[in-house]
Amino acid sequence: MTIDKTIDETAEAHERGPGIVDVAASDDPRAVTKAMRSEPVMRVGEEFTIITRREHIESALRSPAVFSSGAEAVQLGNVRPLIPLQIDPPKHVKYRRILDPLFAPRAMAALEGEVVELFNELVDTFAARGSCDLHKELAVPLPCTVFLQLMGLPLEDLETFLAMKDGIIRPPGTTIEEQEPVRKQSAQDIYGYFQGVIDERHRSPERSDLLARIMSAELDGAKLTDDEILDVCFLFIIAGLDTVTDSLDCMFAYLAQNPEHRRQLVENPGLIPSAIEELLRWESPVPAVARVAATDVDVGGCPIRSGEQVMLLLASANTDDHSHPGVDEVDFARDPNPHLAFGGGVHRCLGSHLARVELRVALREFHTRIPEYSLAPDTVLEYTAGLRSLDTLPLVFQPA
């Protein structure tokens, strides 16, 4: 693929809507990002740029005063900045001090038993059939149900949450103008849903779930306002549900097509944690994160003006062999593995430890019960734009 073709396709994607970098939808995203790295900064239009090389992306992630993650970086129908994603330091640090302990490794590891039980209940629904649509029957319901349980919300609200999440992340339409009304309505639905829950919790506060702990947290000696709680919950829906689904889709699609790597996990389950890190690096389900230049800056000899929209191409950073030799192949024993699939710097993914628990359970339990599987005959995988996912992932196997 030529760099000119890559630029043209990227520009077309920008015109279509928020799936700005369609690296996600590519059959071979590594080839696309390799072509893009011939330019450290790719300019799309007058006020939009893509940073492609790992050294520059890492620097940008660590420089929030220059590359802001504020609400100007991306609009998702929200009327206030999402907390903590769209709050830059110094206030960002105060929010993370509240939220980080709630998502700490030990706290998330304590959930593993519940995740195992839920996962196996889902597998029970199709194991004897000898086939499944892994996207619809596992990758979607698992993280969404875990989220409902963690927040102390009714499990019967699953479809409501899926609709709100998809209305923000994957609204119908091919242009921003077509998608905007759906995204705005979905945002209002999210605010309305959680305001109702918060109102009910104020009347009956005797709870110990994650939402209750957020509502009891204090910032500078005062409890969070309802608006702040709403802004945290909004972020949880768009950041905590779809991304784990995307990761499960990518990982199982890869393993279904690469039996030699799948058998490594079956024969040596101890490899699963490092395999997760490697597949996160290789697939980069979240291929890019948005920033806005807060000041004029030079990146690799290319000027970026204050106010320009900037996309940090994590998928490119994760396979940039100039920074880390040997990243053009999959190695489940890779150590260390300094990937950027969860971002980096102060805005590094808040829910990364929860995601790892869900992914670890999924790969371990599935391969224990169903060690041999493949794509259903005649399957052609079609990845989604924006975030690398699948609308369907049909697998076949011996009935368990």
Angle at 110 between CA 112 and CA 139, to 5 degrees: 30
pLDDT of 119 above 90: yes
Residue 83 counted as domain residue: no
Residue 200 counted as domain residue: yes
CATH number of the structural domain spanning residue 22 = 1.10.630.10
Predicted local confidence at residue 10, as pLDDT: 42
Residue 66 counted as domain residue: no
Biggest CA-to-CA distance, the chain: 61
Q: Report yes or no: 373 and 399 within 8 Å, Cβ to Cβ.
A: no
CA distance 45 to 385: 20
Q: Where are the beta strands (DSSP E) in 48-184?
A: 48-51, 67-68, 131-133
Residue 119 counted as domain residue: yes
Domain count, the chain: 1
Model pLDDT for residues 135-193, shown as the tens digit of each residue: 999 999 999 999 999 999 999 999 999 999 999 999 988 788 899 999 999 999 999 99
Model pLDDT for residues 292-315, shown as the tens digit of each residue: 999 999 999 999 999 999 999 999
Predicted local confidence at residue 240, as pLDDT: 79
Predicted local confidence at residue 239, as pLDDT: 84
Q: Which residue has the higher pLDDT, 6 or 95?
A: 95
pLDDT band for position 230 (cuts 50, 70, 90)? very high
Q: Which 8-state DSSP code applies to residue 390?
A: B
pLDDT of 2 above 50: no
Strand, coil or helix: 131: strand
Residue 51 counted as domain residue: no
pLDDT band for position 400 (cuts 50, 70, 90)? confident
Model pLDDT for residues 335-352, shown as the tens digit of each residue: 999 999 999 999 999 999
Q: Where are the beta strands (DSSP E) in 14-136?
A: 41-43, 48-51, 67-68, 131-133
Name the amino acid, one letter, at 20: I
Residue 255 counted as domain residue: yes
Collect all residues with Cβ–Cβ distance below 8 Å to 193 and sequence separation of at least 6. 157, 160, 164
pLDDT of 361 above 90: yes
Q: Which helix (H) or strand (E) holds 218?
A: strand 218-219
Q: Per-residue pLDDT averaged across 213-231, rounded? A: 95
pLDDT of 7 above 60: no
Structure tokens at 335: 């150590």
Of the listed ranges 19-28, 105-114, 220-229, the least confidently predicted one is: 19-28
pTM of the shown model:
0.93
- Residue 277's domain comprises 3-39+91-282+349-396
Query: 10 Å Cβ neighbour count for 160?
Result: 15
Residue 310 counted as domain residue: no
Residue 301 counted as domain residue: no
